Amino acid sequence: MILAGNNTNKSIHGVLKSMAEDFVVDEVPLYTPLGEGEHLYLTVQKTNCSHDELIRQIARYFGIQPRDIGCAGRKDFTAKTTQQLSLYLPGQSMSVPDSIDQINILSYSRHSNKLRLGHLKGNQFKIRLREIESQFYPCIQQRLERLAAHGLPNAFGPQRFGNRGDNADIGRLWLLCDWDSLANCLLQGGEAHNQLAMDGEYQQAMDAWPFGQPAQRNILEQFVKGKDAKQACNKIPRALLKLCVNAFQSMIFNEVLSKRITDGTWNKLLVGDLAWKHEGGGRTFEVSDEDAQSLNIKNRIDSFEISPTGPLWGEKMRLPSRDVLKIEQSELRRYNIGPEHLQRMKKKALGARRPLRVPVKQISMKKHKDFVELSFILPAGSYATVVVDYLLNGEV
């Protein structure tokens, strides 16, 4: 996706995440813990540690189940990150250590509710880009200024779609109940164990299959027992299915955003749009004919008070109208998804609206001998890797 009106589309070579210290993320909390309540809030710092490993270690130390731990968002593996966790420990006075294995505990307090996804104002990023030739510094600075002025197209980054990039396909096939294709999608690949599975040698494939991939091993186990593809796919972990259905939602959103970037309306409101109030807690309102012609609406767009939204499809998603709805439905129909599939989706993803653009705040750029250091704040749910893609390629 190329930012409309951008005339600096030259690609720049740069290296991101050559070490954890090149990608630093600090949560900006939505609220301060009250100091009392059933939930223990920890501010933790991790380096080169996955989210799942973080939760496992904290749960094991405090003797609770992972489901009793809340967080406002998942953080990258190859990074140095700081975030809050909530632990459900009613009536328990716990000794809190300074660290648990490689996880540092910076502070702790108590609060009355569990942390939920999205319970944060945003994330502060400090990112180092290496191997950039100094002649391209002015171009990066120009692109930063453009982001500050016009905002960032709010695309989902590649990490949303899994290491193999097939999470959205898995989610789509599950929605379509295409069990044979779903099983094949999970089992295919370029390794010897993948080929064994494709050849129907399920026991040999399972014996050779690496641990850490429970969905694939569960499917193979069912095939070894003589079960069919539907029965095998019923053993896919629920957490993975939810992740993949979310990825399918995200793919459709990205495609709608791409269309609106192409036609120059990603930062404009059309009749029928659902406008997002950036300081309104996610509230939206439908744009009427009168609104679309209003100078007040134009001023609110220019001041980044409101923005158009795109679809995160699901049964509970509010529908736009007019041509906006036609655009969004056309992308969904490309994948043969209809109302019955949205009904099936409801246990994995209820649906929501997402702004097509977001502000990038407190932007700065420092030039060093071996790298360029960028600092900025993004709202919750937006991707720093999308910012980097634009800075290096002039597109997202």
Is the pLDDT confidence value at 372 over 60? yes
Using a cut of 0.85, tell me whether the model's pTM lies above it. Answer: yes
Question: Per-residue pLDDT tens for 233-290?
Answer: 999 999 899 999 999 999 999 999 999 999 999 999 999 999 999 987 789 999 999 9
Contacts of 51 (CB under 8 A, 6+ apart): 71, 74, 75, 77
Domain hosting residue 316, numbered range: 249-358
Mark whether 183 and 284 lie in a shared domain. no
Mark whether 268 and 346 lie in a shared domain. yes
Question: Per-residue pLDDT tens for 193-225?
Answer: 999 999 999 999 999 999 889 999 999 999 999
Distance (Å, rounded) from C-alpha 4 to C-alpha 337?
Answer: 30
Mark whether 258 and 354 lie in a shared domain. yes
Q: Structure tokens of 272?
A: 């029928």
Mark whether 284 and 204 lie in a shared domain. no
The SS3 call for residue 384 is helix
Q: Which residue has the tokens 């632990």?
A: 87
| 367 within domain boundaries | no
Mark whether 298 and 224 lie in a shared domain. no
Count structural domains, the chain: 3
Contacts of 243 (CB under 8 A, 6+ apart): 162, 167
Q: Which residue has the tokens 């197209």?
A: 153
Mark whether 234 and 261 lie in a shared domain. no
Mark whether 195 and 279 lie in a shared domain. no
| 346 within domain boundaries | yes
Strand ranges in 119-163 using DSSP code E only, listed in sequence order: 120-130, 152-153
What local confidence, expressed as pLDDT, does residue 96 receive? Answer: 95
| 186 within domain boundaries | yes
% pLDDT > 90, the chain: 83
The residues that are catalytic are 76
Mark whether 253 and 331 lie in a shared domain. yes
DSSP single-letter state for residue 395: B
Helix-helix angle 167-175:179-187, to 10 degrees: 160
